[in-house]
Structure 1
């Protein structure tokens, strides 16, 4: 199945994309050459934080040794599970393959951390996480405050609107939440604006966060996984980026920044989800108000770093391949 998936666009039929990809890379290289750049990567990175393909490549290659070492240790752990399960088997053992990774990674994770989502979720009730976690961190860090507005119309009744006030009490933005999954809704999570900050007209930002959490039954609480909690903090980092914007020209307002910078505010804000002070403020049982037991907190911390060798090498391989495609010369043969 994994082989079929990996080769689905290279079967020599109408859906084969190899020549199209090669042509795209060549055209991009030609465009860069016409504009005076050595490669499309040089053209693309010129106004980014990395500035040059060499700098981007160095960042990636510097990360490779640690990531691959971690991935190899993860392989060894999974191989131990396979060997133990196959001991005495008539067919004998086998070596871990790429297609086996997710299955055995889950087994190792369960054996090492025994992390039961049903035990964790009662401590992450959505509204409490938002107000006593996401908003609390922003209040502590930046001195801003939030007030729910029920008089502002929304495109769905499940949405909520909050007016955001700066340290001096002046209104600076509106923040909309649209957290529940719907059949008509795209998957994933994102931030966007109804109105971006504009120094020319004085427009204040109207920012929204969208997620796809499961809507609870009537009268029941919306309980989240820690991944969901992290997503809320992440997307609110983008929202803060949009709300804190104070520029003259709307073309550079909010998240209209370099692509290799735009995820920084969100990833920075994501950090506060696991900050001990912030975590203790929101990780409370929705029925009793009790803090999460230290044992569960420790399991969450350890599980967050599980399988990161694999995840990092996956990102690195994609980035290195992308860089290789886009550093070729306009007249070079496709590699």
Structure 2
């Protein structure tokens, strides 16, 4: 889990301060509301006057653990306070047998012909439903198996490669055409590749053609051979540029926490972040740094610093113990961490077992 270096000294809080702080955090996580000294004094196990509670709250505020929103007499936990609470005070719950069964059912390939991507999409949707946040999955981009390739000239020296996958996926990639390339070469290059590609991935095709370079030189003229090479080079480059796919489900759940105009603006900013997800994919890559679940709270990361959101993520691994993707949940900073953390952890382990 990500942690702030200041939390070490905060662990020295006395028992009374810890109890008051816990009451403030618990109220925030349950209701989103600020806590006042009078209400807290009535909740404490040992009697304490509202004035004494206010003194403790002032100390907690100086430590940076709580703050007063606007002109409210109550207090809310800061991002640092939530980090301290998660690292030093939170007791994580365990999943119910029903929740485990739900996860195991979703993260499974049965005889219905579901693909791995379909399973991961359903896992994201399932996490969203169980957590009432947005479920996220980052998965390595599949090296799709091809059905058909076509070359289309769009300018004298620019062309388009149209790739059709066996699963119906269509991708277009721009390439440079050799000067003076006749139209017949576009057809010849497509016929040459279509005779070899069906059911194979791009990397498999490239490896075979490189092995059979001599045959290619005999079968194709110079310009057509250059066109085939340009197409292969563009495919390799595009695959390297997009190594991962981001799946997000349940964004509408984030609207359930909207309480004021500033909350709506926060969610709008988060939706924009998710639409331009390059930074999110990079952020989720931080989960590769260690085993188990990691928690990013509010301003602890640049992506959600302005959106008041938290992210709980865990990597999943293949049979060789290599990290190949990430599953997680995005939600408000008052996310139910005690419930979401074991949920994300168990899902990651089930996905790893599926792909192992």
TM-score by length of 2: 0.23
Greater Rg over alpha carbons, structure = 2
More strand by share: 2
Larger RCO (alpha carbons 8 Å, 6+ apart): 1
